[in-house]
Amino acid sequence: MDRIIADKVGAQGWYERMPRALPIAGFALAMLASLVYAYTTERTEYRQRQQQARAAASVVGASLGRRVNAHTAYLRAAALLLEKRRGMTQAEFIALSQELSGDEEYRGSEGISWAEAITPAQIPAFEAARRAEGMGNYTVHPAPAPGARMLTPVTYLGDPTPRRRLSYGYDMYSEIQRRTAIDRAEREKRPIATGPIRLAMDRGRPAWPGFLIYMPLFDKATGRMRGVLGAPFNAQVFLQSVIELEPVNDFSVSLYDGAVRPDRLLAQVGPPGGRDDRVQEPVMVAHRPMVLVVSAPAAPGLSKVAIITLALGSVVAGLLGGMAWLVARQAAEDRASLAWLREQASIRGC
């Protein structure tokens, strides 16, 4: 019996020298395994979110591109029809707009407008002609700056709702973003989008920024620009109309003008997204570079799988630590038993 206990105690000698080593090591190894598994799970889910965001960005970007191409195609078609006419009335322009807006791909725009190119000297006659058409107190505004060579006041609207009538007479050439786009459209003879602007019809009310796409019309005889067709967009409404046709679940979709900066944000749909797994998709809107950003919702913490893994790992680590503590305790008891037996043997030998 003494021999058996002595062999057992000898094998467990290191338990007694480091009684806390086995419980701590068992607990630490189990927790380390749980942490590694939880980290691997989080990385896998992160990669999956990135892949989903990349796929969503590709789909939304393609849909947005198709929508913009549809708008520019309609502007080109309208320009070809109007270039054949020397004159036009509000009723004729409304009829033309209704033909264009019947297509599903034309959703998201505030309709189309016509802005005739005039000189400051032509303002009185121009205003009188509009009022004679029944356009009430039509007035060109703001007043032209000294030395202005050209004005492009909003002349006709395809769908003159009360809100949209607020833009009647507004000289689009008086504002730098619009003027830059009009000059470029005149120079390149193709549809050009503006930078971020506040639509004239949105003044006095909170709204997301907007932008316009301009298509110039030219006099074939003189080559002079007669005016510009415009397609105004509320950027938020436009992006929302695209998302409605291309569901992206709970992803956040944002549209930026040129660069991804807070001051260049045009529109955002969905909950605020996280910054780590967002995907950027460059898009061209009527020859103006924009950036589409798609990101997964900001995660409040660890995923459910990681939390369950850590919880189970803690339980397993606790059990292993407890078992190790019992083994260490048993080793101490065996050592005490051996000491007692030796003491008894010594007493008998006396």
Q: Quick check: 45 pLDDT over 90?
A: no
Q: Quick check: 65 pLDDT over 50?
A: yes
Confidence of residue 309 (pLDDT cuts 50, 70, 90): low
Q: Quick check: 14 pLDDT over 60?
A: no
Cis-peptide into 153, omega within 30 deg:
no
Q: Quick check: 335 pLDDT over 70?
A: no
Per DSSP, 28 falls in state H
Tell which residue, 317, 270, 314, 277, has the closest CA to residue 295: 277
User: In whole angstroms, what is the distance from residue 148 CA to residue 150 CA?
Assistant: 6
pLDDT of residue 296: 75
**Most trustworthy range by pLDDT among 31-40, 109-118, 196-205:** 109-118
Which is higher by pLDDT, 73 or 346? 73
Tokens of 324: 């190790």
Contact between residue 171 and residue 144 where contact means Cβ atoms under 8 Å apart = yes
pLDDT of residue 319: 62
How far apart, in Å, are the Cα atoms of 129 and each of 56, 138, 164, 323? 50, 9, 20, 97
User: In whole angstroms, what is the distance from residue 41 CA to residue 312 CA?
Assistant: 14
| Sign for the pseudo-dihedral over CA of 101, 99, 104, 228 | negative
Q: Quick check: 151 pLDDT over 90?
A: yes
Q: Quick check: 144 pLDDT over 60?
A: yes
Tell which residue, 221, 219, 167, 175, has the closest CA to residue 194: 175
pLDDT digits (tens, 9 = 90+) for 69-94: 888 888 888 888 888 777 778 888 88
User: In whole angstroms, what is the distance from residue 157 CA to residue 171 CA?
Assistant: 14
Residues whose CB falls within 8 Å of the CB of residue 121, separated by 6 or more in sequence, listed in order: none
Confidence of residue 322 (pLDDT cuts 50, 70, 90): low
Which is higher by pLDDT, 6 or 128? 128
Tell which residue, 210, 206, 226, has the closest CA to residue 218: 226
Which is higher by pLDDT, 298 or 168? 168
Q: How many residues does the chain have?
A: 350
Residues whose CB falls within 8 Å of the CB of residue 4, separated by 6 or more in sequence, listed in order: none
Which phi and psi angles does 254 have, rounded to 5°?
A: -125, 150
Q: Characterise 87 by phi-psi region: left (phi > 0), alpha (psi -120 to 50), beta (else).
A: beta
Residues whose CB falls within 8 Å of the CB of residue 183, separated by 6 or more in sequence, listed in order: none
Q: Quick check: 288 pLDDT over 70?
A: yes
Contact between residue 167 and residue 203 where contact means Cβ atoms under 8 Å apart = no
pLDDT of residue 104: 47
Confidence of residue 228 (pLDDT cuts 50, 70, 90): very high
The three-class DSSP label of residue 335 is helix
Confidence of residue 150 (pLDDT cuts 50, 70, 90): very high
Which phi and psi angles does 84 have, rounded to 5°?
A: -80, -10
pLDDT of residue 107: 59
How far apart, in Å, are the Cα atoms of 3 and each of 10, 166, 292, 348? 10, 105, 79, 17
- pTM for the model: 0.72
The predicted model gives 30-48 an average pLDDT of 71
Q: Quick check: 139 pLDDT over 60?
A: yes
pLDDT digits (tens, 9 = 90+) for 183-208: 999 999 999 999 888 877 666 555 66
pLDDT of residue 134: 86
